[in-house]
Copies of this chain bind each other. A is one copy, B any other.
């Protein structure tokens, strides 16, 4: 007589292991606030993709010869395989100079409303040109980049194929190709994406509690949408400005772009996707512990003194934002020849 009771017992076990919260409003609420990442790279407006363009962009992304020293590539600070970041407080650039802000991840950046912490580039294409010519990053000039690439014969046919018709090796096309490659660096199928697609068991109990807190405490007021952030601007210190060790007074954020007083200490809200992989945190890169970052955010943005348990739960939820990391095969770069411009000593 045991067999017949086994089936109802198993069914009950199944019902128990799907927690109660997963069957009602929370998922719907989350689905209203967030969107899962697509599994395929999105189209980039005004920059139609082609395999040739993406392949070229990948080469340029990894080619250190675009920098004045020939030692720094896009990948130096936005490392594929390492969360799309460099795990530095602020990046090391030309002649070992330190950048002013923590390097944001390149992963899923295509979904952000604008690029850089202060949003000074409207898209990846605009962004890609920035570090190339920044004296403390790659220290090149637009002219250097174009002459360098024209001096590497193997690039000519690749540019011609990627940008048929007209002058192919231009700074604009370099930016376009890099942006298209970067748009392929997405991290789909995080547990949270599976949850948003209806799989209630994709989050464990602690992550689910964290999600409820994330919404209930107000984090999702800024960190929402497809990138769980990245969609708007907000002052760092809405309620209480953190100390100078975390918010250095010299960096007024978006104020430098708009010269509007209300933009002082305003930054683009960072995406929290893969945030567990991308310490240290904040534009200043001053906080290495994600739990501490969560607590600081509670204080400064929400005026909420989160308990340790709440911090743990929210941090657990943030762990559910780690998706499939991009699998990238290193491009074989076209060789330098005798006439290729040499690195500056």
Chain A residues proximal to chain B, CB less than 8 Å: 62-65, 69-71, 76, 79-83, 86-89, 92, 95-96, 276-277, 279-280, 288-292, 325, 327-333, 335-338, 340, 342-343, 345
Beyond A328-B329, A329-B330, 20 additional contacts (C-beta under 8 Å) are A62-B81, A64-B79, A64-B82, A80-B330, A81-B330, A81-B331, A83-B335, A89-B345, A95-B96, A279-B337, A279-B338, A289-B338, A290-B338, A292-B338, A325-B332, A327-B329, A327-B330, A327-B332, A328-B330, A330-B330
Give the distance in Å from the alpha carbon of A333 to the alpha carbon of B329 in the complex.
15
What are 10 A-B interface contacts by the 8 Å CB criterion? A64-B86, A64-B87, A81-B332, A82-B333, A83-B335, A87-B336, A87-B343, A276-B335, A288-B336, A328-B330
Work out how many copies of this chain go into the complex: 2
Looking at the assembled complex, report how far the CB atom of A291 sits from the nearest CB atom of chain B, in whole angstroms: 7
List chain B residues, Cβ under 8 A from A279.
336-338
A195 CA to B170 CA, complexed, in Å: 40
Residues in B with CB closer than 8 Å to A81 are: 62, 330-333
A335→B277 contact, CB < 8 A: yes
Q: How far is the CA of A276 from the CA of B64 in the complex (A)?
A: 18
Q: In terms of DSSP, what is the predominant structure of the interface of chain A?
A: loop
A279 to B: closest C-beta gap in Å = 6
Contacts of A280 in B (CB 8 A): 342
Q: Which residue of B lies closest to A82 (CB)?
A: B333
Cα distance A329–B329 in the bound complex, in angstroms: 4
- In the complex, the answer to whether A88 meets B62 with C-beta atoms within 8 Å is no
A123 to chain B, nearest CB (A): 25
A87 to B69, CA, bound (A): 10
Distance in Å: Cβ of A210 to nearest Cβ of chain B: 17
Indicate the member of A79, A82, A88 with the most B CB atoms within 10 Å. A82
In Å, the complex CA distance between A291 and B338 comes to 8
- From B87, B289, B290, B329, A70 is in contact (CB under 8 Å) with B87
Contacts A89-B345, A330-B328; is A338 near B70 (CB within 8 Å)? no
Q: Would you give the shortest CB distance from A311 to chain B, in whole angstroms?
A: 12
Q: Assuming the A-B contacts A329-B329, A330-B328, A330-B330, are A69 and B92 also in contact, with contact meaning beta carbons closer than 8 angstroms in the complex?
A: yes
CB neighbours (8 Å) of A276 from chain B are 335
A99 to chain B minimum Cβ distance, whole angstroms, is 12
Cross-chain contact A70 with B95 (CB below 8 angstroms)? no
Contact of A92 among B65, B71, B331, B338 (CB under 8 A): B71
